[in-house]
Amino acid sequence: MSRSPHSDTLTEGIRVQAAAQYMPGESEPEDKRFLYVYKIRIANEGVRRAKLLSRHWIILDADNHREDVRGPGVVGKTPDLAPGEHFEYMSSCPLRTSWGTMEGSYTFEREGGERFEVAIGRFFLVPSAPRLVPVTQS
């Protein structure tokens, strides 16, 4: 089993891929501030349109401190994906420790109002992770 720092999860036809990278130039270890950037790719591999409504992140640091982050959309957008379409974005996450994990879910809505949760698989925020490269569909 691979111990990749990245994740790739498929839920109800929606694939979420995540990759993170440590930003040493933006971090201040002496002040317990470690900054990571992460890239997300959301692809509709199903047969029905789906719109992202909200997000819920669970962020754990090396001290097992948990932070839950909830909010509408992602980076100010609520992508509405037809079958075969995808949406990518980048964001950042500060930690108080040198490593941690992120995982969570997105709430999506289908035409007709049916809501469902899409898993964001756990990925690792570690300084030794490979350089962030564009997340691509395998």
DSSP reduced 3-state for 18: strand
Please report which confidence band the pLDDT of residue 1 belongs to, taking 50, 70 and 90 as the band edges.
very low
In the chain, what are the domains? 7-125 (2.60.40.1470)
Beta pairing class for 7-11 and 34-44: unpaired
> Which amino acid type is present at position 36?
Y
Compute the average pLDDT of residues 84-89.
98
**Measured distance CA(126)–CA(75) in Å, rounded:** 23
The 10s digit of each residue's pLDDT in 11-70 is 999 999 999 999 999 999 999 999 999 999 999 999 999 999 999 999 999 999 999 999
DSSP reduced 3-state for 26: helix
DSSP reduced 3-state for 3: coil
